């Protein structure tokens, strides 16, 4: 095949060199107030090419020269280069950057010199701001090597955001080789802080570091804090919706991590700005110092108005035979749970079983079978009996109601369930009833996920998704969600709703919750809907609240404790009321701590 | 040319040089066939052959869905990238006939006679047309603080004399390739020496330019270093303070990076005259006219302007 261009010269990519002086540059020479470094690699290459007589045509040379001039003219920053560069991509992807996001990016680049805490409230698009800043620096030739540290479960979300919205193809860290070889790398902060990785990372000079969920760095004695502190970086962005939660020291730590000395020493900070650990002194002056490194936008005028969330609880009544089976399973769980104790190793499968049985008997059947197998050669006779009865059931009242509900909906619908067995069954029932469906779950590869998403967008009316598949999925074209079962953890529920109720959603979002009467679901619904009003209100700082209450990992256990300790409906309700109050107090505490200062 | 016209010119030249001819399918919208290799050059590995419709007008792009090629657009960027990855090195010459020899001769006489006085007469014994080698270097000069600003710098090094000048003639006048005939005078300098002279020249130029950008950067740096010093005051951790201050200086101290991005060997006509001065004392000497700089070069000792009183 003939070469495309006259001579394709393996260039040393003229304008794509690292912002840092690489060995190909000469030693710095002092000239006036600055130093100058000349490329030595350029000279070597020139001599080599002349010797090899690798001369290109003059016309191409002039064209390339014209290209250089245009390129440099384009890079003269009068505004953000990324906006023009990404305009078409955004048009195709349906991304509309909000003015507050553009303003934030401009401020970080022009005023904050690339060092900032992006502390917008949840849902205002901090990731977009960070991506925009990263892209802008890349276009300006100031960032080549960047590291993005995120909680592990957000790595893929970052990947797709950067790829789809910014045309940046990052790597996701898998091995220790990736640290050096991947220019833009996304990594789990928990992996990165491990000694063997941290050592490598600390030896690398990064042009930019981005830390997501940066409030996790509030404690200066943690390994994560030490990791970030030791990273050599020119630009640094920290993303958190809650830069301060309980203690002003957390804020001090975060700012000092970003820019040591910005708030002085801790002693002087305490003397000057802290009345007590939660009340600031000289808030005006402190705010002014913070505004040099921290950007915070709140929902409302000037930023983003979200559409409404409209909740439709739908009560499902089980058939007598289903109810009997449910009661039997619950009795079994309570007996086993009380014997095993809350901290025992058996409690986790029991929690799972209790959640599954609320979803469908198909989902519970698998766990029951496993438990039965585990008990061999002396299987629990109750388990065997439950399994036999479950296999005999030919009816699913929840799915019957779902079909009825579907007949009233004309638009696209996402149905969420926690379990794959339930997902398969729902799809079977809906397909049988004449609906076109697609299934979305965590087993799918990235390419397939994208394909399924397109299928849903173009052809199918219903997407049946498990939540592990739902992470990082943006489906703003749909505004109806059906929660076939309810997750016990409000964070997961928020993530479900967040698939459609996010920036770019133009219509009110309808949330249908199928709640089975006389089951635990009724109580969960009471807690999440009536008590903490999760569905209609974006709690926003939910993760921070749970962290604040030390419930991030134990929400399910706490619920299980309540269910195991009490049999009476009223007693459970009383306990749930108390639990809900704790959450509301936590919400208030977190919110007021943040708002007071920022 | 960097405006919209310049962009259009670049795009059309790009396709012309590739042997493609864009067709205007609607006023302001062009269409060209991208085969697989060109599509890959523009779109990366997933590029596939297709009809590529483009426009330079944002309004038309929105209306007809053609790809927009405008300042800052993604498509312009990919074309620029493809273009800029080509032709790192080239060579070209200026033909002699671009210059009107009788005028050069008359100008030469005027200068020599002007210097020596009107009493002498000069005749051309011989005219040799040769080419002098120049190295034209296009460099990217980047001023870096927390921001970066780039500029293109052009310089020519005379490979015989080591003189560095900007290219004082339009590059459009050059013809690609080696001169078809005529002697190319040997270069005296190595490329390394030429590059070194070029670096010195650029450094001098930079020193003469406005340095307020560097002043601002130092002010910021000092402020930040003072903050750091206050933070570490009394902690006794001088080692860490030094390390942080060093990192700060590395990141924010003003510096300039100069990187050659494109070079060309230029062969510039040289008019070498063998002249005879007649009058009181007859003497033969050589003079070379350089049309780039309009200078007349007479080798040392070859010609001294005769003193009228001594010759009389």
Residue B117, in any domain of the structure: yes
- In a shared domain, residues B53 and B1: yes
Å from B15 to nearest chain A CA?
Answer: 11
Residue B4, in any domain of the structure: yes
Å from B310 to nearest chain A CA?
Answer: 50
Residues of A in contact with B218 (CB under 8 A): 33
Residues of B in contact with A113 (CB under 8 A): 146, 220, 252
The answer to whether residues A546 and A216 touch, using CB atoms and an 8 Å cutoff, is no
- In a shared domain, residues B36 and B109: no
Residue B47, in any domain of the structure: yes
Tokens 């969420």 correspond to A416
Asked if the model's pLDDT at residue A200 lies above 60, the reply is yes
For residue B82, what is the domain's CATH number?
3.30.360
The encoded tokens of residue B167 equal 């290219």
Summarize the confidence of residues A86-96 as an average pLDDT.
Answer: 80
Summarize the confidence of residues B295-304 as an average pLDDT.
Answer: 66
- Nearest residue in B to A113, CA atom: B146
ipTM: 0.90
What is the tally of structural domains in chain B?
2
- In a shared domain, residues B65 and B83: yes
Summarize the confidence of residues B163-189 as an average pLDDT.
Answer: 88
Beta strands A509-516; A480-483: pairing state: parallel
C-alpha–C-alpha distance, residues A147 and A202, integer Å: 12
Q: What pLDDT shows up at residue A596? A: 54
**Taking CB atoms and an 8 Å limit, are B84 and A67 in contact across chains?**
yes
Q: What pLDDT shows up at residue A23? A: 42
Residue B272, in any domain of the structure: yes
**Taking CB atoms and an 8 Å limit, are A66 and B6 in contact across chains?**
yes
Q: What pLDDT shows up at residue A365? A: 80
- In a shared domain, residues B22 and B66: yes
- Alpha helices by DSSP H, A465-598: 467-470, 490-498, 520-525, 542-548, 555-565, 569-597
**DSSP label of A281:** S
Q: What pLDDT shows up at residue A154? A: 82
Q: What pLDDT shows up at residue A558? A: 79
Residue from A504, A478, A482 nearest A493 by CA: A482
Across chain B, mean pLDDT equals 86
Which stretch, A68-77, A439-448, A545-554, B72-81, has highest mean pLDDT? B72-81
- In a shared domain, residues B38 and B120: no
Using one digit for the tens of pLDDT, what is the confidence trace for A444-460?
876 788 788 888 988 89
**Residue, of A336 and B126, whose pLDDT is higher:** B126
Using one digit for the tens of pLDDT, what is the confidence trace for B23-55?
999 999 999 999 888 888 888 877 889 999 999
Disruptive mutation site among A1, A69, A72 for chain B (greatest number of B CBs within 10 Å):
A72
C-alpha–C-alpha distance, residues B27 and B60, integer Å: 9
Residue that is last in its domain, among B28, B53, B87: B87
C-alpha–C-alpha distance, residues B268 and A510, integer Å: 77
Residue that is last in its domain, among B69, B87, B105: B87
Summarize the confidence of residues A558-587 as an average pLDDT.
Answer: 81
C-alpha–C-alpha distance, residues B194 and B136, integer Å: 10
C-alpha–C-alpha distance, residues A37 and A39, integer Å: 7
Summarize the confidence of residues B171-186 as an average pLDDT.
Answer: 87
**Residue, of B303 and A387, whose pLDDT is higher:** A387
The encoded tokens of residue A406 equal 């579907």
- In a shared domain, residues B62 and B97: no
Q: For A68, which of B71, B89, B152 is closest by C-beta distance?
A: B152
Q: What pLDDT shows up at residue A153? A: 74
Residue that is last in its domain, among B87, B117, B149: B87
The structure's pTM equals 0.71
How many CA atoms within 13 Å lie on the side-chain side of A369? 9
How many CA atoms within 13 Å lie on the side-chain side of A488? 25
Asked if the model's pLDDT at residue B267 lies above 70, the reply is yes
Q: For B203, which of A29, A43, A261 is closest by C-beta distance?
A: A29
**Taking CB atoms and an 8 Å limit, are B256 and A37 in contact across chains?**
yes
Confidence of residue A333 (pLDDT cuts 50, 70, 90): confident
Q: For A58, which of B9, B90, B144 is closest by C-beta distance?
A: B90
Residues of B in contact with A19 (CB under 8 A): 144, 148
Asked if the model's pLDDT at residue A17 lies above 60, the reply is no
Residue B176, in any domain of the structure: no
The whole domain housing B115 covers: 93-131+268-311
- In a shared domain, residues B35 and B99: no
**Taking CB atoms and an 8 Å limit, are B231 and A8 in contact across chains?**
no
Q: What pLDDT shows up at residue A550? A: 65
Summarize the confidence of residues B150-173 as an average pLDDT.
Answer: 89
- In a shared domain, residues B75 and B104: no
Across chain A, mean pLDDT equals 82
Chain A neighbours among B 117-146 (CB < 8 Å)? Answer: 138, 140, 142-144, 146
Q: What pLDDT shows up at residue A21? A: 36
Residue B182, in any domain of the structure: no
Residue B169, in any domain of the structure: no
Residue from B215, B224, B217 nearest A115 by CA: B224
Which residues are paired to A29 by β-bridges?
A: A36
- In a shared domain, residues B121 and B49: no
Instruction: Count residue pairs from A and B with Cβ separation < 8 A.
Output: 265
Summarize the confidence of residues A581-590 as an average pLDDT.
Answer: 77
- Nearest residue in B to A79, CA atom: B72
**Residue, of B152 and A366, whose pLDDT is higher:** B152
Confidence of residue A58 (pLDDT cuts 50, 70, 90): very high
pLDDT-wise least confident of A511-520, A554-563, B298-307: B298-307
Q: What pLDDT shows up at residue A12? A: 30
Q: What is the DSSP string of A54-121?
A: -PBPHHHHHHHHHHHHHHHHHHS-SS-HHHHHHHHHHHHHT----HHHHHHHHHHHHTSTTEEEE-PP
**Taking CB atoms and an 8 Å limit, are B90 and A9 in contact across chains?**
no
Q: What pLDDT shows up at residue B293? A: 78
Residues of B in contact with A6 (CB under 8 A): 86-87
Using one digit for the tens of pLDDT, what is the confidence trace for A27-56?
888 888 999 999 888 778 888 888 888 899
Euclidean distance between the first and the last CA atom of chain A, given in angstroms as a whole number? 63
Q: What pLDDT shows up at residue A79? A: 80
- In a shared domain, residues B5 and B83: yes
- In a shared domain, residues B8 and B78: yes
Å from B96 to nearest chain A CA?
Answer: 18
Residue B180, chain A, CB below 8 Å: the answer is no
**Residue, of A596 and A61, whose pLDDT is higher:** A61
**Taking CB atoms and an 8 Å limit, are A36 and B235 in contact across chains?**
no
Summarize the confidence of residues A187-195 as an average pLDDT.
Answer: 94
Helix (H) / strand (E) containing B124: strand B121-144
Residue B145, in any domain of the structure: no
The answer to whether residues A479 and A510 touch, using CB atoms and an 8 Å cutoff, is yes
**Taking CB atoms and an 8 Å limit, are A34 and B147 in contact across chains?**
no
Which stretch, A115-129, A190-204, A522-536, B89-103, has highest mean pLDDT? A190-204
Confidence of residue A223 (pLDDT cuts 50, 70, 90): very high
Rg of chain B taking only CA atoms, in angstroms: 28
pLDDT-wise least confident of A261-270, A413-422, B117-126, B265-274: B117-126
Summarize the confidence of residues B116-133 as an average pLDDT.
Answer: 83
- In a shared domain, residues B80 and B102: no
């Amino acid at each position: 095949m003939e070469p495309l261009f006259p001579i394709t010269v393996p260039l040393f990519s003229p304008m794509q060199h690292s912002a840092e002086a690489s060995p190909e540059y000469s030693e710095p020479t002092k000239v006036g107030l600055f130093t100058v470094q000349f490329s030595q690699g350029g000279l070597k290459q020139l001599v080599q090419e002349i010797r090899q007589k690798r001369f290109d045509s003059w016309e191409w040379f002039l064209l390339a020269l014209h290209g250089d001039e245009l390129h440099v003219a384009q890079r003269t920053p009068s505004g953000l280069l990324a906006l023009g560069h990404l305009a078409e991509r955004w048009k195709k992807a349906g991304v509309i950057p909000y003015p507050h996001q553009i303003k934030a990016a401009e401020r970080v680049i022009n005023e904050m010199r690339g060092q900032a805490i992006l502390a917008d409230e949840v849902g205002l698009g901090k990731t977009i701001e960070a991506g925009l800043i990263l892209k802008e620096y890349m276009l300006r030739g100031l960032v080549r090597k960047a590291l993005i540290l995120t909680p592990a479960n957000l790595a893929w979300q970052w990947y797709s955001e950067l790829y789809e919205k910014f045309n940046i193809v990052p790597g996701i860290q898998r091995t220790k080789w990736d640290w050096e070889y991947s220019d833009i790398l996304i990594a789990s902060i928990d992996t990165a802080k491990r000694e063997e990785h941290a050592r490598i990372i600390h030896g690398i000079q990064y042009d930019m570091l981005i830390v997501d969920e940066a409030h996790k760095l509030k404690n200066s004695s943690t390994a994560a804090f030490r990791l970030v502190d030791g990273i050599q970086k020119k630009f640094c962005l920290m993303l958190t919706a809650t830069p301060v939660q309980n203690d002003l020291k957390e804020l001090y730590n975060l700012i000092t991590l970003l820019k040591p000395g910005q708030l002085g020493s801790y002693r002087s900070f305490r003397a000057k700005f802290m009345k007590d650990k939660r009340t600031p002194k000289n808030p005006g002056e402190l705010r002014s110092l913070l505004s040099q490194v921290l950007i915070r936008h709140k929902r409302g005028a000037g930023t983003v108005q979200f559409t409404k969330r409209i909740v439709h609880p739908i009560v499902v009544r089980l058939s007598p035979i289903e109810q009997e089976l449910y009661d039997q399973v619950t009795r079994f769980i309570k007996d086993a749970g009380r014997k095993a104790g809350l901290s025992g190793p058996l409690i986790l499968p029991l929690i799972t079983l209790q959640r599954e049985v609320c979803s469908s008997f198909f989902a519970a059947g698998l766990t029951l079978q496993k438990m039965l197998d585990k008990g061999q050669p002396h299987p629990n006779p109750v388990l065997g009996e439950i399994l036999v009865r479950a296999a005999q059931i030919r009816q699913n009242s929840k799915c019957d109601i779902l079909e009825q509900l579907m007949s009233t909906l004309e638009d696209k619908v996402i149905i969420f369930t926690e379990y794959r067995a339930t997902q398969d069954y729902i799809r079977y029932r809906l397909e049988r009833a004449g609906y076109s469906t697609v299934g979305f779950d965590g087993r799918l590869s990235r390419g397939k996920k994208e394909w399924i998403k397109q299928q849903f967008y173009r052809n199918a009316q219903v997407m049946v998704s498990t939540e592990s598949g739902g992470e990082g999925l943006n489906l703003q074209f749909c505004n109806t969600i059906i929660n076939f079962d309810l997750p016990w953890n409000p964070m997961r529920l928020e993530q479900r709703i967040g698939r459609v109720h996010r920036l770019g959603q133009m219509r009110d979002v309808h949330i249908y919750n199928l709640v089975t009467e006389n089951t635990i679901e009724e109580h969960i619904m009471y807690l999440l809907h009536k008590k903490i009003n999760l569905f209609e209100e974006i709690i926003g700082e939910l993760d921070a609240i749970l962290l604040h209450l030390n419930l991030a990992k134990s929400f399910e256990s706490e619920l299980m404790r309540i269910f195991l300790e009490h049999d009476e409906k009223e007693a459970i309700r009383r306990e749930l009321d108390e639990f809900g109050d704790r959450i509301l107090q936590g919400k208030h505490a977190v919110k007021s701590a943040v708002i007071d200062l920022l | 040319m960097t405006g919209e016209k310049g962009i259009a010119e670049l795009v059309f030249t790009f396709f012309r040089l590739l042997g493609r001819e864009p067709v205007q399918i609607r006023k302001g919208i062009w269409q060209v066939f991208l085969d697989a290799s060109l599509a890959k050059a523009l779109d990366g590995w997933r590029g596939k052959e297709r009809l590529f419709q483009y426009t330079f007008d944002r309004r038309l792009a929105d209306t007809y869905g053609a790809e927009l090629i405008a300042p800052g657009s993604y498509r312009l960027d990919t074309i620029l990238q493809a273009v800029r990855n080509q032709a790192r090195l080239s060579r070209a010459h200026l033909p002699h006939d671009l210059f009107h020899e009788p005028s050069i001769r008359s100008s030469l006489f005027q200068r020599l006679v002007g210097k020596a006085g009107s009493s002498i007469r000069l005749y051309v014994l011989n005219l040799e047309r040769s080419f002098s080698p120049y190295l034209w270097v296009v460099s990217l000069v980047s001023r870096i603080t927390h921001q970066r600003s780039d500029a293109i710098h052009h310089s020519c090094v005379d490979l015989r004399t080591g003189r560095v000048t900007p290219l004082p003639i339009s590059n459009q006048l050059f013809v690609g390739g080696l001169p078809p005939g005529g002697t190319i005078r040997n270069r005296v300098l190595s490329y390394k020496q030429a590059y070194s002279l070029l670096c010195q020249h650029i450094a001098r130029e930079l020193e003469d330019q406005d340095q307020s950008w560097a002043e601002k950067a130092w002010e910021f740096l000092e402020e930040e270093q003072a903050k750091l010093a206050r933070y570490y005051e009394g902690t006794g951790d001088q080692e860490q303070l030094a390390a942080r201050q060093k990192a700060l200086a590395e990141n924010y101290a003003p510096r300039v990076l100069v990187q050659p991005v494109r070079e060309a060997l230029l062969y510039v006509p040289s008019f070498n005259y063998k002249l005879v001065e007649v009058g009181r004392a007859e003497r033969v000497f050589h003079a070379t006219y350089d049309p780039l700089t309009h200078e007349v070069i007479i080798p040392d000792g070859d010609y001294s302007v005769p003193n009228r009183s001594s010759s009389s």
